[in-house]
Chains A and B, each alone.
Chain A
């Protein structure tokens, strides 16, 4: 689609651009249907275990659910964020004059306007808007509030940023080396390290019938929620801001916004009643402080919705993990010792890396009884999109590792894949890799149930 500035440039005044949006939203065309279901009273209770339909599901099917981008508030402005477009750089200057002069643009802010410009669920290494340094191409460097979404999108094109580009670090194994320059220098590239040590792996390997090694790696993927990140901020005359947001964690979100804006929590209200998919990607603030500041600066409600490309390069992704497995087994395929090294590509900022590192390290041994275990995991900075929480926190990656590895062992020993797993599976009361006694354990039951349903009748001929 070609540039959409034609109409506004012709008219050239703020007032005409506003006229495009002045009409109040008309009433919906179709009245709300009333189809009250009265479930059969004899089947209403007990409630647990029932295949109850969802009240919100009905509204979804009618198209009546209002997601944040569906909200229209009188006087509302639209915000778009300018993205760095370079993976590693110093910001020399940000020139917003041309954007500010555009008809329809009401306010522009940069990183310098953020009172406390750092946040993060553990390490607070991420800026709301990059101020001095850019660490990945999706970093925001400025934000515009305008009367239409199109004007805002055009205005960010007019913002000129001068960068001093620096060589990016892209390979996590390179980043792991001590001589590689720190992405967040003076901090080291390795920003997280976890070890799980149990028993005596050297003795375990010494007693093994055979030792197997395998290396695996997974790729960076994105949550792709159908609804992009969105937030809408409105202030009242008492200095309270209400932010409707797609955040999955409103308690933490409120704390982050209080901190970055330097205001008390009692002056912040976060509402996140309706979200179109999260999968871990909407668990930290993104646009919220930006719209709050723009709303304060302009005195009008401000909404910001990510474009689909921003969903990819400006929101968190799943950690690529490089996994090295070494397993010692008996002739019957019983695991005696396992050694694992994990290297997590930790992207430009910490985000949820600490949690992912911890979980990956704990889970990477697999759901198996292993007396002798050594698992070591590292997470390193790279100048790529920040890696954060994505459905599984490292579990899908390590499961790919340990289960591929298990099948390789089974094949080499001539043991049926189902049988080798049954022989090693955790049981009720087993010790986990961290020596916790496990309860409510049903690995074997799930294996047998799935095998029976599938029709898995022993090894293939």
Chain B
């Protein structure tokens, strides 16, 4: 077994897991943070996307042991008790999500993008979402929502 202690959405958490456990499984099964999804388990679809130490990561490709001592941000860490995150609000207003399965991954990619670049162009946005597969929406309303946030100048 491997012991890991990490910060998840601002809180210190620890777990003892089998060494081959992925970060994705750690989040979903040990911490009940089921926002990150298992779409392929091999890093192709992006449904498991989270942010580790400020970097965008496919959590199915990281081992739990690799996040020991690190800072992980998941979809559950964006909203507060009384406020949706601006990205979540924009996605809701524009109807950007349909079945929602790819949603958490896409929103984390969008957050990462807006953190790096508060005023992205459409090609920038398409680039940032390129690792997130979506079958329902054609990405159009996601791009619209992210553009709207950029135009509002809201801080991500």
Contacts and interface: CB of A to CB of B under 8 A. Distances in A.
A21 B16 CA distance: 11
Nearest to A275: B99
Contacts of B42: 308
Given A33-B81, A225-B99, A226-B47, A6 B19 contact: yes
Contacts of A26: 31-32
B20 A4 contact: yes
Interface stretch (B51-59, B82-90, B114-122, B123-131): B82-90
A48 interface: no
Contact of A277 (B77, B88, B101): B101
A70 interface: yes
Given A31-B81, A33-B81, A226 B91 contact: no
Contacts of B20: 1-2, 4, 6-7, 150
Given A223-B135, A277-B135, A61 B103 contact: yes
A232 to B, nearest CB: 14
Given A33-B82, A227-B39, A59 B100 contact: yes
A85 interface: no
Nearest to B74: A63
Contacts of B143: none
Interface string B1-45: 100000011010100011110100000111111111111111011
A67 interface: yes
A212 to B, nearest CB: 34
A72 interface: yes
Given A6-B20, A70-B34, A227 B103 contact: no
A358 B147 CA distance: 44
Interface stretch (A50-58, A130-138, A396-404, A436-444): A50-58
Contacts of A70: 28, 34
Interface residues of A, number: 51
Contacts of B136: 226, 277
Contacts of B88: 58, 61-62
B107 interface: yes
* A interface secondary structure, majority: loop
A34 interface: yes
Given A33-B82, A57-B95, A61-B97, A307 B41 contact: yes
Given A29-B9, A34-B82, A60-B103, A7 B92 contact: no
Contacts of A279: 135
A20 interface: yes
B65 interface: no
A21 B45 CA distance: 27
Given A26-B31, A30-B77, A35-B83, A61 B91 contact: yes
Nearest to A7: B18
A1 B91 CA distance: 35
B102 interface: yes
A305 B80 CA distance: 32
A29 B11 contact: yes
A224 interface: yes
A32 B82 CA distance: 8
Interface in A49-84: 51, 53-54, 56-67, 69-70, 72
A59 B88 CA distance: 9
B100 to A, nearest CB: 3
Given A51-B95, A62-B88, A30 B76 contact: yes
A277 B92 contact: no
Contact of A276 (B34, B40, B77, B100): B100
B73 to A, nearest CB: 11
12 contacts: A6-B18, A26-B32, A32-B81, A33-B79, A34-B82, A58-B88, A60-B100, A61-B96, A63-B103, A72-B32, A227-B101, A308-B41
Interface of B: 1, 8-9, 11, 13, 17-20, 22, 28-42, 44-45, 47, 74-84, 87-88, 91-93, 95-104, 107, 133-136
Interface of A: 1-2, 4, 6-7, 20-21, 23, 25-35, 51, 53-54, 56-67, 69-70, 72, 150, 223-228, 275-277, 279, 305, 307-308
